[in-house]
């Protein structure tokens, strides 16, 4: 009987059903400005993604793994824009959530080395960037 609870807990954690804040009492507190998340996390990762695309890739296991890691940084950055009071309005929240969801799909595509799935998800991810940028990014940038 004792074993049932931990097993259930593991299943719940894997299903994401246990509170996202169950992180040992650590409270996330923002350190970076959003334009720095963009400049230092999102942009370098997107530069990698773009370079592969322009070269007709990613191709080969190593490039797919790098693409996976790059997109994972974009997903993390987008999640950070949703945390600790950064959300400003609906387009912000919606755009960031689109980036997170489509970015996860792109990660899956990269994991599977599925060129079409990856490309399609990246397109959806970029739409998420635009949803937020249309309202929140200055036009001259
Ligand atoms: C939740 C809103 C939001 C989302 C989603 C978002 N951005 Fe941004 N982005 C911003 C804001 C805010 C700025 C800063 C605008 C400013 O300071 O004028 C910015 C700025 C940028 C910049 C300029 C950074 C600099 O200062 O050098 C780049 C590049 C950028 N974003 C890329 C992206 C890409 C690519 C995506 C999608 C993968 C994305 N952003 C998704 C809000 C967002």
**For residues 69-88, average pLDDT:** 98
Which residues neighbour 70 within 8 Å (Cβ) at sequence distance 6 or greater?
A: 44, 45, 46, 48, 49
Report the length, in residues, of the chain: 141
The domain of 36 spans 28-136
Query: Per the structure, how many domains does the chain have?
Result: 1
6-60: per-residue pLDDT in tens?
555 545 444 555 556 578 889 999 999 999 999 999 999 999 999 999 999 999 9
Q: What is the pLDDT of residue 140?
A: 59
Q: Measured from the CB, is residue 71 less than 6 Å from ligand 1?
A: no
Enter the pTM of the model: 0.87
CA 36 to chain centre: 16
Is residue 115 situated within a structural domain?
yes
When comparing pLDDT for 62 and 2, which is higher?
A: 62
Q: Measured from the CB, is residue 90 less than 6 Å from ligand 1?
A: no
Is residue 5 situated within a structural domain?
no
Is residue 3 situated within a structural domain?
no
| Three-state SS at 55 | coil
Average pLDDT, the chain: 89
Q: Measured from the CB, is residue 80 less than 6 Å from ligand 1?
A: no
Q: What is the pLDDT of residue 13?
A: 45
Residue 11 alpha carbon to ligand 1 centre in Å? 36
127-138: per-residue pLDDT in tens?
999 999 999 997
Q: What is the pLDDT of residue 71?
A: 98
Q: Measured from the CB, is residue 106 less than 6 Å from ligand 1?
A: no
Residue 35 alpha carbon to ligand 1 centre in Å? 6
Instruction: Name the residue of 37, 122, 133 whose CB sits within 8 Å of the most ligand 1 atoms, as the mutation to test its pocket.
Output: 133
Is residue 7 situated within a structural domain?
no
When comparing pLDDT for 17 and 103, which is higher?
A: 103
Q: What's the token pair of residue 103?
A: 């970015």
Q: What is the pLDDT of residue 6?
A: 54
| Ordered alpha helix ranges (H), 26-114 | 34-36, 43-54, 61-80, 90-112
Which of 91, 124, 92 lies closest to 105 in space, CA to CA?
124
CATH number of the domain bearing residue 42: 1.20.120
5-14: per-residue pLDDT in tens?
555 554 544 4
Q: Measured from the CB, is residue 61 less than 6 Å from ligand 1?
A: no
Which residues neighbour 86 within 8 Å (Cβ) at sequence distance 6 or greater?
A: 30, 34, 80, 92
């Amino acid at each position: 009987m004792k074993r049932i609870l931990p097993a259930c807990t593991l299943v719940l954690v894997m299903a994401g059903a246990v509170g996202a804040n169950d992180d040992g009492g650590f409270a996330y507190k923002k350190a970076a400005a959003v334009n720095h998340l963009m400049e230092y996390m999102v942009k370098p990762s997107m530069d990698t993604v773009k370079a592969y695309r322009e070269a007709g890739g990613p191709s080969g296991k190593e490039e797919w793994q790098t693409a996976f890691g790059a997109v994972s940084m974009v997903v993390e950055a987008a999640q950070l824009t949703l945390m600790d009071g950064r959300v400003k309005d609906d387009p912000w929240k919606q755009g960031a959530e689109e980036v997170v969801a489509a970015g996860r799909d792109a990660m899956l595509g990269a994991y599977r080395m599925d060129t079409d799935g990856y490309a399609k998800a990246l397109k959806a991810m970029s739409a998420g960037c635009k949803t937020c940028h249309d309202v929140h990014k200055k036009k001259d940038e």
